[in-house]
Amino acid sequence: MDMHDLTRELQQANDSKIVMIVADGLGGLPLQPDGKTELETARTPHLDRLAKLGVQGGSIPVKPGIAPGSGPGHLGLFGYDPLQYRIGRGALEATGIGFELQPGDVAIRCNFITIDDAGLITDRRAGRISTEAAAPVVASLRQIKIPDVEVFVEPVKEYRFVVVLRGKGLEGDVADTDPQQTGVPPLDPQATTSGSRRTAEVAKEFLRQAREILRTQAPANFHTMRGFAAKPNLPSFEEVYGLRAASIAVYPMYKGLAHLVGMKNIGRATDLSAQVDVLREAWKDFDFFFLHYKYTDSTGEDGAFDRKVARIEELDAMLPAIETLKPTVLIVTGDHSTPSFLRSHSWHPVPTLLVSDCCRPDLHDTFGERTCVTGGLGLFEAKYLMPLALANAGRLGKYGA
């Protein structure tokens, strides 16, 4: 029995509102052993005040020691066991550009490549062609027509683009056509299960037409296909939690991830202040709000300790505006840590704060990496955050009599 079996069985409706603020990559590290982390350094009067009212803990994104990408990081926060649910590479790439996959779609990561007259690969990344130079070449592939299949071709960045095949009887188990070396031809798409044979045939036909179209486009005179993946089969927030859920994100990747679990992407905010405006306007229409804040991650990736501190302070300053809406449950967390010391995602537990009238406050009056370990939520796997949110919102009945 997994947690979703439980939440399906125990969910009960009420008028509560849950707000989950995900400060991407929130957790950090000190620059010296006796130093403070970015969050501990930041002046965060509102988080500290909420820490007094709330309960904190350290969210382990996947398992101890495992640093997740954005996909598993968010799946965990959304209550989907990131080891049970995996988003295939192609589906994640499509999701990352905000493409809303439909059930039955197959998404494929494509690289432009350079081939010689004999059809042998001379460059697996087509000279790292620029995003601008690639754009018209990507667009030219949209003339490809395949009977009974709708074809989408979308640029990603530089030599990378995405193809999505939409039609009946398509599955995602097809091997990569990238041979991982130069001096050899690309491989033909090969189905690895009988259910994916038609996908392999469609991909082969796509490649045949692409070869014609791209012939004169060197260095981007052909492409490989990798990471074939069907839309992951994730049950929806509505079904597993009984929540009408909205996503308020700025960047396509997070909109895409929210869409995969059935959240509705609302608004067109491009900064935090506008995101809060969207939240306010949609307050009556949803039960759950996912609000994504990117800059705690990007500054961490840049190794910019001070800028990450400033971004945390910026988030802190926005909290009172959210509190005036009086959410039943207010959560501040992150999908993983991104310490500027490491300039990358990490495995460290993510400081997580939950405030409700029945949260059982702990003894802390500040919020940070060192306090969260001894907070009332202790160290916990991210996938348990949603059951805790539902319980604090009074949305879970008793298990067993």
Residues binding a second copy: what is the number (CB under 8 A)? 70
The reply on whether position 312 binds a second copy by CB under 8 A is: no
Q: Which stretch binds a second copy (CB under 8 A): 113-121, 192-200, 274-282, 354-362?
A: 354-362
19 contacts 286 by C-beta, under 8 angstroms: no
The reply on whether position 62 binds a second copy by CB under 8 A is: yes
Cα 335 from chain centre: 9
Q: Of 8, 52, 125, 307, which lies in the binding site for a second copy, with binding defined by CB under 8 A? A: 52
DSSP string, 123-172: ETTGGG--HHHHHHHHHHGGG--BTTBEEEEEEEETTEEEEEEESTT--S
The reply on whether position 8 binds a second copy by CB under 8 A is: no
- Positions 274 through 293 that interact with a second copy (CB under 8 A): none
The reply on whether position 152 binds a second copy by CB under 8 A is: no
Cβ nearer to a second copy, comparing 164 with 272:
164
The reply on whether position 86 binds a second copy by CB under 8 A is: yes
Total residues found in the chain within this entry: 401
The reply on whether position 251 binds a second copy by CB under 8 A is: no
Cβ nearer to a second copy, comparing 19 with 382:
382
Cβ nearer to a second copy, comparing 13 with 363:
363
Q: Which stretch binds a second copy (CB under 8 A): 161-169, 199-207, 255-263, 341-349?
A: 341-349
* Least distance CB 284 / a second copy (angstroms): 26
The reply on whether position 67 binds a second copy by CB under 8 A is: yes
The reply on whether position 342 binds a second copy by CB under 8 A is: yes
The reply on whether position 63 binds a second copy by CB under 8 A is: yes
Residue 392 has a CB neighbour count (10 Å cut-off) of: 24
DSSP string, 23-60: ETTBB---SSTTS--HHHHS--HHHHHHHHHSEEEEEE
Find, among 386, 382, 353, the residue nearest to 39 by Cα.
353
The reply on whether position 390 binds a second copy by CB under 8 A is: yes
Distance CA 74, CA 51 (A): 23
Please name the residues in contact with 152: beta carbons below 8 A apart, sequence gap of 6 or more.
99, 162, 163, 164, 166
CA distances from 79 to 34, 74, 241 (A): 35, 9, 10
Q: Where are the alpha helices (DSSP H) in 215-360?
A: 237-241, 252-260, 272-282, 295-301, 305-323
* Least distance CB 33 / a second copy (angstroms): 5
The reply on whether position 379 binds a second copy by CB under 8 A is: yes
Q: Of 70, 247, 299, 328, which lies in the binding site for a second copy, with binding defined by CB under 8 A? A: 70
Cβ nearer to a second copy, comparing 42 with 377:
377
Q: Of 34, 132, 148, 212, which lies in the binding site for a second copy, with binding defined by CB under 8 A? A: 34
Distance CA 364, CA 341 (A): 26
The reply on whether position 29 binds a second copy by CB under 8 A is: yes
- 258-287 core/surface letters (b: 16 or more CB in 10 A; e: else): bbbbbbebbbebeebeebbebbeeeeeebb
The reply on whether position 362 binds a second copy by CB under 8 A is: yes
3-state DSSP assignment of residue 288? strand
CA distances from 365 to 49, 200, 308, 361 (A): 7, 58, 22, 10
- 113-126 core/surface letters (b: 16 or more CB in 10 A; e: else): bbbeeeeebbbbbb
Q: Of 3, 269, 278, 325, which lies in the binding site for a second copy, with binding defined by CB under 8 A? A: 3
Q: Of 15, 65, 117, 147, which lies in the binding site for a second copy, with binding defined by CB under 8 A? A: 65
CA angle 91, 94, 98 (to 5 degrees): 130
The reply on whether position 368 binds a second copy by CB under 8 A is: no
Cβ nearer to a second copy, comparing 85 with 222:
85
- Positions 88 through 107 that interact with a second copy (CB under 8 A): 89, 92, 96
332 contacts 350 by C-beta, under 8 angstroms: no
The reply on whether position 378 binds a second copy by CB under 8 A is: yes
Cβ nearer to a second copy, comparing 186 with 375:
375
Q: Which residues bind a second copy (CB under 8 A)?
A: 1, 3, 6, 10, 29-30, 33-34, 37, 52-53, 58, 62-73, 82-84, 86-87, 89, 92, 96, 339, 341-342, 344-349, 358, 360-363, 369-370, 373-380, 384, 386-392, 396-401
